[in-house]
Amino acid sequence: MAGMSGRMSTVIKAKISKLLDKAEDPGETLDYSYTRQLESLQQVKKGIADVVTAKKRLGMQAQKLEQSVVKLDTQARQALAAGNEELARTALERKSLAQAELQSLDQQVAELQSQQDKLTESEKRLRTKIEAFRTKKEVIKAQYSAAEAQVRISEAATGVGEEMADVGLAMQRAVDKTEDMKARASAVEELEAAGTFEDLTQLGSGQDDIDRELAALGTGSMVDDELAKMKAELGQGSAPPPAELESGEGKP
Amino acid sequence: MIVRIMGEGQYRLSAEVLERVNELDNTIVKAVDGDDEDGFHESFEEMLNVIRSEGEHLGDEEIETSDVIVPPADTSFAEAAAEFTGEGLIPD
């Protein structure tokens, strides 16, 4: 039952013993160790870039959904003004679905932002530590006998190795979260492709999908409320022209 | 003693502070054993705060190996089950 902290110790020990087995010459060990550290830093930078990409993708989806919400609202009003309550209801159901999706996306974007901030901090810490190691290795090379140097190298490499392992596990956590969100993002894209959030007037027959039906069950009463509100508003004000819906699907 | 909070960095703790952390460590093990999620979060939060406020933060340029490694602040109750077992993070 090794938890994160236990796993970390195991990772460090494995890395260091491998490192010390590698070379007989302390100078070589030091240089090799430093090269590995720089590689690890590159990995962290790549990890941060991945999180940023995932965040951007979700952000773009959120923008599209926002546009859908506005459009579906307008369509509902137009449908109602034209006396087609059924079409208005469909539009509001989709709007409600899009809004729920939007809320969840916003949360995920915030979560990724926090992951990005943490990784950026970790990257900075690791970079400073590697820089300190670079200085230290020159001192060790210059000042110590081979036997003594071996001990110093082990200490220094373990210290930096610990930082690398910490960043590595933090990255793993970030990657896992990002993967979950990518999967969700794909699901939203499929919903979009299925026409769930699309322009009502562009829907052909047979494009209703089960997802929408299911969602409608849960959002029914919310839609009823909003429909009633819209009716009241339209009753008082002037209705927009129903032009766009003349050739629409929902006509009885 | 040097303690690392994963994802945050390292702290140098005096013997007294370490003793307090050890007590909290044991409290957390009990909470995890007793399936007390609120108790875990409360004590874990306190443990982190004691380390952060009472410990001396090591500079990023200091190369030291930690004696104790504490899991990250966002450790879930489920994850804690694998961390806080037996004698906890610090052997008694």
Residue A252: what pLDDT? Answer: 45
Residue A137 near chain B (CB below 8 Å) = no
Position A214 pLDDT exceeds 50: no
Residue A124: list chain B partners with CB under 8 A. 60
CA–CA separation, B9 and A18 (whole Å) = 25
User: Angle CA(A65)–CA(A75)–CA(A236) in degrees, nearest 5?
Assistant: 125
Position A117 pLDDT exceeds 70: yes
Residues shown for chain B: 92
Position A201 pLDDT exceeds 60: no
Least confident of A16-20, A42-46, B72-76: A16-20
Residue A216: what pLDDT? Answer: 55
Least confident of A66-70, A119-123, A183-187, B16-20: A183-187
Q: What is the pLDDT of residues A225-234, one digit of tens each?
A: 888 888 888 8
Residue A198: what pLDDT? Answer: 65
**A215 HSE (CA, 13 A, CB side):** 22
Least confident of A16-25, A178-187, B83-92: A16-25
Tell me the nearest-neighbour CA distance from B16 into chain A, angstroms.
23
DSSP B12: E
| A19 neighbors A104 (Cβ within 8 angstroms) | no
- Sorted by sequence, the CB contacts under 8 Å of residue B46 that are 6+ apart come out as B24
% of chain A residues with pLDDT over 70? 76
DSSP B35: T
Reported confidence tier of residue B46, pLDDT bands at 50, 70, 90: very high
Q: What is the mean pLDDT of residues A181-199?
A: 72
Residue A114 near chain B (CB below 8 Å) = no
How far does chain B reach from its first CA to its final CA, in angstroms? Answer: 14
Residue A248: what pLDDT? Answer: 45
Q: What is the mean pLDDT of residues A186-208?
A: 61
Residue B12: what pLDDT? Answer: 96
Position B22 pLDDT exceeds 70: yes
Reported confidence tier of residue A182, pLDDT bands at 50, 70, 90: confident
Position A247 pLDDT exceeds 60: no
**pTM of the predicted model as reported, rounded to 2 decimal places:** 0.72
| B88 neighbors A5 (Cβ within 8 angstroms) | no
Q: What is the pLDDT of residues A92-110, one digit of tens each?
A: 999 999 999 899 889 999 9
Reported confidence tier of residue A196, pLDDT bands at 50, 70, 90: low
| Chain B residue whose CA is closest to A2 | B82
Question: Amino acid letter at B35?
Answer: D
| A137 neighbors A156 (Cβ within 8 angstroms) | yes
Interhelix angle B15-33/B37-54, nearest 10 degrees: 170
User: Which H or E element spans position B68?
Assistant: strand B68-70
A·B CB contacts under 8 A: 66
- Sorted by sequence, the CB contacts under 8 Å of residue B17 that are 6+ apart come out as B50, B51, B54, B55
Residue A212: what pLDDT? Answer: 53
Residue B84: list chain A partners with CB under 8 A. 3
Interchain CB distance below 8 Å, B82 and A166: no
Residue A118 near chain B (CB below 8 Å) = yes
Interchain CB distance below 8 Å, A4 and B72: yes
Residue A20: what pLDDT? Answer: 64
| Chain B residue whose CA is closest to A119 | B7
CA–CA separation, A46 and A43 (whole Å) = 5
Position A190 pLDDT exceeds 50: yes
In sequence order, which ranges of chain A are alpha helices (DSSP H)?
Answer: 4-22, 26-81, 85-143, 146-193, 210-236
Q: What is the pLDDT of residues A118-163, one digit of tens each?
A: 899 999 999 999 999 999 989 988 888 877 887 888 888 888 888 9
CA dihedral of A19, A127, B80, B4, whole degrees rounded to 10? 80
Q: What is the mean pLDDT of residues A36-60?
A: 91
Reported confidence tier of residue A208, pLDDT bands at 50, 70, 90: very low
The alpha carbon dihedral of B35, B38, B43, B45 has a sign of: positive
CA–CA separation, A59 and A53 (whole Å) = 10
Q: What is the mean pLDDT of residues A45-54?
A: 91
Report the mean per-residue pLDDT for chain A: 79
Position B11 pLDDT exceeds 90: yes
